Amino acid sequence: MRSVLKATAVSLATIVALAAPASAELTGNLKINLDTSNPAPRATMEALIAKFQAANPALNITTNVIDREAYKTQIRNFLSADAPDVLTWYAANRMKPYVEAGLLEDVSDMWADGTDIAKELASTKGALTVDGKQWGVPYTYYQWGIYYRKDIYQELGLSEPSNFDDMLSNCEAMIASGRKCYTIGNKWLWTGAGWFDYLNLRTNGFNFHMQMAAGEIEWTDPRVRETFANWGKLIRMGAFIDDNQNKDWQQSLPFMIDGSAGAILMGNFAVSPLREGGLTDDQLDFHQFPAITAGIAMAEDAPTDTFHIAANAKNKDNARAFLAYIVSADAQTEMNNGANLGQLPVNSKASVDDDKFLNKGFEMLSSNSPGGVAQFFDRDFPAEMAQAAMEGFQEFMIYPDNLDDILDRIEGVRKEVY
């Protein structure tokens, strides 16, 4: 108890100190592990760290950027063995195993009532809470939704669908014009999970989806089958590009760029490569995933990426100061602007960059998502469950007729996991 109090006092002191950086520069070391290995996020993070370094010239910062996919398997090793002070990760269920193993630092002190973080980051607190304590801070989040070729829609006289029937009829027109409706690269499984999330959220609603995540609903339940039936309609009409089971998501983008597919269900991070691929904002547009079952409140996926302190960190005070810096309104504004991450800032005082897609996403999430906000399939569902289910999705997208077998298999895993 005393040590907790002490730690809190120390960290409060550093936060206060940070407010007046001139008076108390940080010294010692700070070791940061990042999974932001794609070029743009990498540059963004490095620039922000450079600023932090400039404010604290005596601090010795080492940054270790690890490939995003490799990071997901390596985190468990370095957390226990070669712990950095600060690391990036994901909220909700994805951080839970590490919290339960005691590998992440409890940073509830930073979220205590009255702190700036508590005031400015209130909306994300839930995603970082396990057992009533907070285990990190968010640094960015982004909307998911349908990015589509506006010019192609216009050419075919189509408009943004507002319900599933529109979606299907749009798709028919698209196919009639010799195109595919949606591109997807499902080799790494999570892209298909995005489709399941949305179809299930729209067919059965947010609460049902979360009950599934908690293992309370059988996968062979008729309501789940309803979700797959809707998905099956799209698959059977040929809505998705061929051979999607062994493409990664980057490989699916050229179909969108060359116009052989009209749209993609993806997170906002797809915008930057699509723009780089040559699509202008006149060609590319965004719409919310349309309603399916009437009367069900719209709910969205908006994954939150996070920063944590390792429980075995050696420089926890410096780490806390860095976390406080990362979530500050200024850093958030800069980090998430269109030229950098191009995502949504987590700090309510930060400003959303004046970017078409960010504005649309921000508006959708803040005013048109009454049902709730989910993290994402593999962050909401436990790891083993997610793996088995996503493999099933991948198979379903190629062989929709195997549905019974797939669902039986996933249900078998559900019984084991929970």
Partner 1 sequence: MNTTLVKQNWYKRNEIAITPWLFLVPGLIMFAIYVVFPIFQSFRISLFKWDGLGSLATHGEYIGMANYEKLLTRDRSFNISLWNNLKWLVFYLASIPAGLFIALFLNQTVRGIRLYKSLFFFPFVISQIVVGLVFTWFYDPQYGLFNGIIGFVGFKPLNVLGDPTLSTYGVIAAGLWPQTAYCMILYLTGLNSVDPEQTEAARLDGAKGIKMLWHVILPQLRPATFIAFVVTVIGSLRSFDLISIMTNGGPFGSSRVLSFYMFEKSLSEYGFKMGYGAAIAVILFLIMMVFIGYFLWRMYQDEKATNG
Partner 2 sequence: MFPKPIEKSSRTWQLGYQALLPTVMLLWLAPLLAVALFSIRPDSDFLVGNYWGWPSSFEMAKNYGMVFGSAMPRYIMNSFLITMPTVIGAVALSCMTGFALGVYKFRGNLLIFFMFIAGNFVPFQILMVPVRDLTLDIGLYNTKTGLVLFHIAFQTGFCTLFMRNFIKALPYELIEAARVEGIAEWRIFWFVVLPLMKPAIAALSVLIFTFIWNDYFWAIVLTQGENAQPVTAGITSFNAQFRAMYHLMSAGSIIAALPPVLMFFLMQKHFIAGLTLGAVK
Binding site for partner 2 (CB under 8 A): 37-39, 64-71, 73-74, 77-78, 80-82, 248, 250-251, 254
State CA 1 to chain mean position distance. Answer: 35
State CA 325 to chain mean position distance. Answer: 21
Q: Where are the beta strands (DSSP E) in 254-345?
A: 261-267, 284-287, 299-301, 304-309
Judged by beta carbon, residue 76 or residue 119, the one nearer partner 1 is 76
- Judged by CB under 8 A, does residue 187 bind partner 1? yes
| Residue 65: contacted member of partner 2, partner 1, none (CB under 5 to 8 Å, by partner type) | partner 2
- Judged by CB under 8 A, does residue 246 bind partner 1? yes
Judged by beta carbon, residue 34 or residue 193, the one nearer partner 2 is 34
| Residue 243: contacted member of partner 2, partner 1, none (CB under 5 to 8 Å, by partner type) | partner 1
Q: Does residue 301 contact residue 361 with C-beta atoms inside 8 Å?
A: no
Q: Does residue 257 contact residue 278 with C-beta atoms inside 8 Å?
A: yes
Separation CA 147–CA 390 (nearest Å)? 22
- Considering only the stretches 44-52, 107-115, 134-142, 389-397, report the one whose residues sit in contact with partner 1 under the rule CB under 8 A: 389-397
Interstrand relation of 261-267 and 304-309 (parallel, antiparallel or unpaired): unpaired
Question: In the chain, what's the furthest Cα-to-Cα distance?
Answer: 71
Separation CA 326–CA 331 (nearest Å)? 6
- Judged by CB under 8 A, does residue 395 bind partner 1? yes
| Residue 310: contacted member of partner 1, partner 2, none (CB under 5 to 8 Å, by partner type) | none
Q: How far is the CB of 314 from partner 2 (least distance, A)?
A: 13
By CB under 8 A, what part of segment 75-104 binds partner 1?
A: 76, 79-80, 97-98, 100-103
E strand or H helix that includes residue 372: strand 372-374
Q: How far is the CB of 32 from partner 1 (least distance, A)?
A: 21
- Judged by CB under 8 A, does residue 245 bind partner 1? yes
Separation CA 184–CA 154 (nearest Å)? 22
- Judged by CB under 8 A, does residue 258 bind partner 1? no
Instruction: Please report, as a single letter, which amino acid is at residue 234.
Output: L
Contacts of 331 (CB under 8 A, 6+ apart): 48, 51, 325
Tokens 């990498």 sit on residue? 42
| Residue 63: contacted member of partner 1, partner 2, none (CB under 5 to 8 Å, by partner type) | none
Q: How far is the CB of 121 from partner 1 (least distance, A)?
A: 27
Interface positions with partner 1 (CB under 8 A) = 69, 72-73, 76, 79-80, 97-98, 100-103, 187-188, 242-243, 245-246, 378, 383-384, 386-387, 391-392, 394-395, 398, 409, 412, 416
